[in-house]
Each structure stands twice: as structure tokens, then as C-alpha cells.
Structure 1
Amino acid sequence: MRQHNAGVVATTDGVRRRDPDSVVEYFSAALYASTAWPQDFPRQVTAAYDPAAGQLVLDWELPACAVVPEIKAVRYLTTADQDKETPRPVGQRRALYREVLAQCVLLVLHELFAADELGALESVALNGFVDGHDPTTGRPGHIFLATVMASRSAFAELHLAQVDAVSCLADALRGQLSARPDQLTPVRPGRRPQEVGNRVVAHGDDEDPDLFAMDPIAFENLVADLFRAMGMQAVTTQRSNDGGVDVDALDPAPIRGGKIVVQVKRYRNTVPPTAVRDLYGTVQDTGANKGVLVTTSGFGPGSHTFANGKPLELVPGTELVDLLHRHGLRGRLGGNGRQVPAQRTSSPPDTRLPDDYNVLGMSWTGGVALDVCALVCRGSRVLSDDHFVFFNNPGTPDGAVRALPATAPDKAAICVSFDALPAEADRFVLVAAVDPDVEPHADLSGFTDASIRLLDPGLAELGRLEVSDGRPHETALVLGSFRRRANGDWDFVLGGKGYPGGLEELVRDFGIEVE
């Protein structure tokens, strides 16, 4: 006890002297000791302290979008003896998630300044991140969804009980919050701990096992452990003659319980719709009450469309990690481990794409909010649902097409490797549609002076392609298409066909079924 108390006194003296190690240790402890956080929220921090400026600089992990349920309501249908789930609208889920992220940022600032009894903090530079994959390189890493630099005086003037969290962060504190955090649209982080020059200290969950690197049998056992932790009986099946079932589970809950068959896919790319169809066949063949498909990656629109209304549940990687942590188990999706040495860099990191990729940057005048999407087609039909790149499917399974964060002057960007497109593909189509969640009553009359910039992997402009203006009463538009010639080259053909029924009507024209 005396040794412990002596350590507390030494840390307190270090904070009073503005010793960087003591300051970081003290305020990290304050964040971890807080009882204001929900139990299943992450608590991972990387921090450094600038004693000359009195500034604590930290990266703080934010909860993933899975904290906001995709389902808005569940109604039991007696005639069909099944649950009917009502999905939460994408716009509502996005708004709720942005509210959660803004509250998290404000709570971190509140806890830090409230703990500063010795006056060590003149300001706090905070970057909030989630774990994900860099859309330009595909490598796992931190994606920053919020950033703010708050001085003690500015924060002291706030009345947190009365503020709107999003407005407070963006307006009062002049911070930045991702416009679409559900799609992992990043913001540019402010000052980073590695830029401070002192030793960087990291605390958190990087010791969790990487699910991508886990032995397949161990991964199946981990999923079985998860079902047992959720109160079910669960066993892994034999490797041979398992009938497409990796884990057999039994939910003892009356009425809604019963036999559950579980398939486990340790994938990096999007799970194809055929796997979901196969699982449904297994559910029917085995007489199970439900089928669950668990993956380390995600699912495309075709999979969700097929599973809708059926006794199937799709668990993507982000939700799997959330469930593991919620039930006392461990796991993460990639990650490079903790970086503790401080580094100063004189130039930004290299974000150059591989040499066989081009970037298509989209710009226009007018204030209409648009989603720019791409379709990989043969003729006028998309190759598959997974070859429709949009906000819920940011890339094709082969990685030939990916959505990118746009850089000025572009408002949207897509990268494509024309050489890597499937051999059967002869058209690469770009389309734009009004975002109904942002502007439900808008049309394309405000879409003018539009163009597509063709960029090389280093984002140098190679050329500019003009596209048609939008028209009143239309809410979706084919911008144009790249068409493969007999010699393998690609030519751009101007589009212009508009649709009053929005993106749904447009994609139906290309062979995608929308329910």
C-alpha cells in the first residue's frame, strides 16, 4: 500500500511539473476510470503530451456503426410463424451514429478537463477513429471519423446538458465530423501523437487476436464459444460430411428458440450471394429454425436482398467483433499493432495507388447532394450484385473498382483498374443519384457544369470528360460509360439518360432486383 501511494504521489508531482509520461499516464487513467461509458464501448487510446503548449494529443477509438441497430422493429407474424423485421432507414441510422460519435468526443473532452485539477491542460487535440481498411490501399488501419482541437477556455463556456452534440462539435468547437461515418468516410485528422516529439503511450485492445490470421478451426471454436456465451448450446461439427454446417447451436428460449445452423466464412472479400443461398438450402434440408452466416468481411446488396424475410441472419466482421467484446471474448479485424516510438515526418505518407489504377474524380456546381456509383456490366446488364459499387458496397470482390474519399476539387471519386476488370465485362458505367436521406425533395436541376477528371495513381490529372447536366424531376442520371474496344482499349461514351425514380429505378434498368 505504501508503494502504491508513493507511486500516486510521484505521478501527481510529475503532472504538476508537466512531465510528459506522468501527464499521459494520469489522463489515460482518468479516461479508463470513468463510469460514464457504456460497458461494451471500446477504450483504446494513443497519447502524447506537449509540455510547452500544455496540449494533450490523443487518438481515441470510437464505437463502430454496429452500435446503432440495423433493425428498427420486429413484429411476429402469426400466420407465417416468423418474425418480420422492419429495417431502420439508412438516413436515420446515419444520423443516430453521428450523434453517438459527437457525444463520445464531447465526453472525452469533458472527462479530461474535469480531471485536470493541477492545470496541466491548456488544450486537447483529439482524433476519433474506428478500425477498418484504407480504401486506397486495402490495408487495415485506423479510419478517422472525428477530430477537434479544444482549448480549456472554449470548453468551459459550454453548457453540455443543453447542447446538440453534433452542432456543438462542428460549430462551437470548430471540429470535424464525418458526413457519412456509416460508410467510413474519413476526415483529415488534426495533430497526431506521433507528431509531438515525446514518447507515445498506447493503451487498449491491440492484444486481441487477429481473426484474419487465426487458424480456421480455432476461428470456428471461437464462434461456438460466442454462441455459448450468449446462452446457447453450441458444438463445432466434424470437418467432413458436415453438410455445409460449421457450428450446430440450440437456442433454449421458448417460442423463438430452436435449432440454429451456423456457417463460418473467414474471408477478406465480400461474401458472395451464392453462400447465402446455400445456407438457406441447408436450413431447409436440416429442418433448422434459423441459419446464421458469420464472416470476417461483409455482405453485398444481393445477399441482404435474398435474406430479407427468410430465417437467415448475416453477421459481418464489424458486428462479430462487437459481439465478441460484448460477451467477454477477444478478436480484432487486422491491425498493425501498437506503435509506441515517436516519429517526426517531413512529408505526408505515400498514398499512391498501384500503377494499374486510375482515379475518376467527379465534380459539379450546385448544392445538390449526390451519390456517385459504378456498375461493371456486360452490355446493359451488371455482372452481379457485387459488381454494383455504391454506398453499401464500396468495392467489387476482386478489388478492381473501389470508392475513394474525394479530394478537392472533386466531390466524389472512384478508382478502377481497367486491366483487372473481368474478361466478360465490356462496359464500366458511372451514375449519379440524389441522396434522398439528405435532400428528400431535391432533383437534378441543380446538377450543372459536371465533369469527370481522369487521374493517374499519383492523382495527377490526365484529362477531363464533360457530362450532361441534370434535368428537373429526375433524381438519377447515367453520367457515361467506358466501353471496351476490340483491341482492349477503353473509350468514354457520354450518357445522359435520366430517371425520375431515383437509384432504384436506374439499377433495375441494369438488371438488379430491388425489393
Structure 2
Amino acid sequence: MINLWAEAQRQREAQERARAQRERDEERRARAAERARARDQRERQAAYRRQREADARRRTEELEARVEALGSLLVDGCRAAPFDPAGLERPERVEPFDAGALAHPVPMPDQRHYQPQGGWGFGSGRREREEARERYERDWRAAQAAEAERVRRLDAYHRQYERWAAQQLAEIRRHNEGVADLVAEVRAGDPDAVVEYFTAALYHTAYSSYSSPVWPDGLPREVSAAYDPAARQLVLDWELPRYDIVPEVKSVRYMYNADEDRETARSATQRRALYRDVLAQCVLLALRDLFAADGSGALESVALNGFVDDHDPATGHRARIVLATVTVTRTAFAALRLEQVSAVDCLVDGVRGRLSTRPDQRAAVTPGRTPDDVGSGLLTQGGGDEPDLHAMDPIDFESLVADLFRAMGMRAVTTRRSNDGGVDVEAVDPAPIRGGRIVVQVKRYRGTVPPTAVRDLYGTVQDSGANKGVLVTTSRFGPGSHTFAHGKPLELVSGAELVDLLHRHGLRGRLGDGAAAGSASPSPDVPDHNVLGMSWTGEVALDVCALVCDGDRVLSDDHFVFFNNPRTPDGTVRALPATAPDRAAVRVAFDALPPEADRLVLAAAVDPEVDPGADLAGFTDARIRLLDATGAEVGQLEVSDGRPGETALVLGSFRRRANGDWDFVIGGKGYPGGLEALVREYGIDVA
């Protein structure tokens, strides 16, 4: 009994141990399953996070790629092949003839398949042989009839194909002949043909497979155009992209804790700058496509107004809002290297166009010539050649100037020939703030316009109460004229500037044989030199000198006029004895200066022999009197005072403008090393 009890006890203990082991195993399995579930949860969360982060990176990369594409629009466009009218032609080929099932003849019955039981031999019955022969003959006749029907249908189908192919070829040939006729009409200057051709060129580069499209997807393509054959000018309104072309979002980042994508907005300044750049690129690229497509020389110039179709912020109505406008000649545009330019600088400064400063707010610019202006009677100078402005009838010349003001968007009329009060043209600029009434005087001179003409115009402006006076000439203006006009409501338009304005606005005109305005010798009654009289307060002894320069380099040592070299080799600049109230004087024949010279620099330095220890602290109240050849004062120019420790000073420089006129720019840079340090900077070796 004891043994039985002990054995039962051992079994109970073993069962208890087994139960405890099972519980422990189940707990381990539960903990392992929990760890596995947690691990799976972490892996799913990590995968989800990686996916969301990847999506955010992808969106950011797409935004960056879109911005990069917008920034490289012009460069990419310049790589595309120019439009060729051959791209409009269609090849003379049609789909070849395909007979389909009719190409296969109907199979004829095989007599071997119609043998009676036992063959055609002696053992077969007569009736069986006749039935087999009848079946064969019946099927053979049916096959012959089917084949005849197939041949008939094939012949009819082939004749139908030949008629269709002939129509297709005729249509292709008519199309190609139309393209050839269009090109011929473009060469002949037919306005409708020119508009059709260049409109096709703009659309072709954007859409067709002729070349890869260079315009981004989503850009509008509306265009209206007109051609002026007399001026050989294409005038068009070209639709530009709206502000939403530039992404509002700069980047996207996934925020794990909030489980959401957080967008970083592009700054308004950056977005506006990029939008202006896109507008400028679109305008320049359109001009590039037009001039590149002109293989027949139909375009002397292009006037393009870029607009957006949007709500006018002033009225709330849908309208065409002009954000960019430019008129450029073929020659000027061909001189550009579009792959290297800054689009905005090129449009505004390079080709002198206008671009809205706040296009994001739809701030419009005044358009230049529009398609509606073509044929409005502005171009009335006569034949196909450029008229010589010097040889034009005075009344015609005044009418041409009035036409120019009207082409610039103003209302302008010529005045009566008597009692006009010195006014040849009256114009009204409708632009707010800067606009108003303008009086215009027209001078057909060959020599430099005297300052007295500018003084007379100023008196006319004051007497008439006009907002501005404009003096237009076929010649040029001297420094005296610009000095007097500085700071006054006057604008001086030289001959070179006049010709440029005429061409930019679809009008025509030239100066004689094409020489620069004012290149002819001055008339006897026109001053041919000026005297620069310099004065200052203080007792310091100074040497006044002049340097004839190309940029910041003197032309040669002989073109440095000072006490040891009183004149240049050609005598255009020379020192003169000063007369009161001047303490120094220089005579300058501006029109006769060497063509490579673009500035005349005036400087003053302490005389080290007279005042060895002096500086320019006492050089104050300095000024330059501008005198004409008769000694009459035509203006005064302020210059900077001296400073302690400096012994030489640049007083200022007269700089030649692109039209040949000379403007004065005040100086002020001082040198403690005296005249030697000053002239060394202008390329003179004083060693």
C-alpha cells in the first residue's frame, strides 16, 4: 500500500510538473506572439512612414523639377531646331492596297475525293460512278462561280482603292502646293500669308512632332496678329501663362507625429521673381521662333504684346491684361546670345521692352503697337524705301513725329503753321501720374543743336502750362543742352534715338546715307566747341587737368592735358588762360573728339611746388561753368568738395551716350597720393 501510495504521489507530482511546464510554454508562446505582433506593427509603421516620406520627397522633387523646367525654358527652346516650312508638307504616299481575304483564290474540288466505293475501276457500280461524277461536276461549277465572283469583287475593290488613292495623292499635292504658294506669298509680303505662316510657326514648334515641344504643358496658345508690309513688321498679341504656372508650394515634408504632410510655401518675392522670369522667357522664345522661321526676310521687326486672360483687378471683368510688350528689329535680336542672358534683363534692357513689375497682381503695362493699329494710317511716308529725314518736307516731318507719338499710345496732332507759339506737335499722354500734356518742337538740324533752342522750349513749356516739353531733332545735343535740361520737365531726342523709336514702333526713317546723327561738320552758325571754366573757394593752388579716355583708360599719354601738355595732338582739348570769375579753363570740341573716346575726365590736384604741405580741405564751393564758343554761359555744373588728407580729386566726367550726345557725371573720388596716384589709375605710367 505504501508503494502504491508513493507511486500515485509521484504521478501526481509529474502531472503537476507537466501542467506547470505547459503553462510556462504557453506563456512563452504568448510573449513570443506578442513580440511578433509588436514587431510587425513597428515594421508596418516604419514601412508606412517610409512610404509617406517617399511620397513627400517625390512631390518635392516634382516641384523642383517644374521650377527647374520653368527656369530653363529659354535655354531649352534655343536648342530646338528652327521651324522650316518643309515641316508643313506631307509626303506623297498613301496606304498600299490590301485585298484581304479577296487575295486568296477559291480552291477547286479534287476529283480524287469524289471516287465511289471501290474506286473508278471495273468493280464499281455504274450508278455510284454517275452520282460521284455529278457531285464533282456540281461542286466544280460552284467553285468556278465563287472564283468568278471573287475576281469580280477584287477588281471592283481595286478600282475603288485606286480612286481613293488618287484622291489622297491629289489632296496631298494640293496641300503641298498650298504650302509652296504660302511661302511664295510670304516672300512677296502678302499680309494674310505672313500672318498665317508665322502663326503656324509658333504653333508648330509647340505642338507638332516636327521638333520636340519646348513650351511647357498647360501654357496657353492664343494669338492674334497683323502684318505691316510697308514696315515689314509683324504685330501680334501673344497669350502668356498666368500666375499659377509657378508652384505656390516650395517643398513637402511628412510630419510623423501628426501623420500629415506639411507644405512649405514659396515666398511671394521668390514666386513673383520667377513668374517675371517665365514671362520674359516666353516673350524672348516667341521672338526667337518668329525670327528663326523667317527664311524669306519678311520680318524687319516684330512688335509683341504679351497678355494674360484674367480678371481685371480694377473692374472684376474678364479682360486681356498686357504684362509685357516689346518691339525689336531683326538686327538687334540677332546680336543677342539668348543661351547666356538673364531673361528679364534682356527683355527690359537688352531690347528695351517693358515688363510688369507686379505681374502677380496683374499690374498692366501700356502695350506698344497692336494688331488693330496696323492699317490705321500711321505709315504714310511714301514708297518702300526708308525716307531720308533730312530731305523730308518740314510739314511731313512734323506729321511723322505726330505719328510716332500716336504709335506710342498717345493722342497727338500737329499745330497750325502760324501762331503756334513755338509748338509743332501737341500730345497728350493718357498714363496716370506721369502723363499729361506734352508740347513738342521739331528741329531738322545737321549740326549740334544750340542750347538756346532748349531754353526756348523751356519757356514754351512754362508759358503754355504743359507737363513736359520734348525737343526732337535729326542731329544731336551738346553738353550745354543736357546741362540746362537736367532737372527740368524736358526731354531731348537726338537723331539716332528718333530713328530707333521710329523702327521700334513700325515707322520708317533714316539719316542721310546712314551715317550717325550729327556726323557731318557743324554748320557755320552752330557752336563747334565749349569752354569749361572752373572756380572754387580757398587759397590752395591747384592744377586742373583733363584726360580723354576710352572707359577708364586714357587713349595715350598725349591725351592727358595738364601743365606740361597743354593740348591733345588733334587740338580737340586744350588748356586756356582763365578769365574771371574762373580760376582755370579748358576748351573742348566734343563733336571732334576721337570716335574711340567715350569720356572726358576732369581732375584737380594740389600744386606740390606752390603748396607742398596742402591738401584739399579748403577746396569748397567748386563749380564748372559751361560756356559756348562766344563765351556765353549756358549752364553750371556742381562738383564735390575736397576732403582732408586728399591731394587729388576727380571733379567729374563728360560721357558719350549711345546717340553721340555728352552727359556730365559728377565725380568725387579723392587720392592722398596726388596727381600721380590719380593718373596711374587711368593707365598712365609715371615711373
TM-score normalised over the length of structure 1: 0.39
Higher-strand-fraction structure: 1
Higher-helix-fraction structure: 2
TM-score normalised over the length of structure 2: 0.29
Structure number with the bigger relative contact order (C-alpha 8 A, sep ≥ 6) is: 1
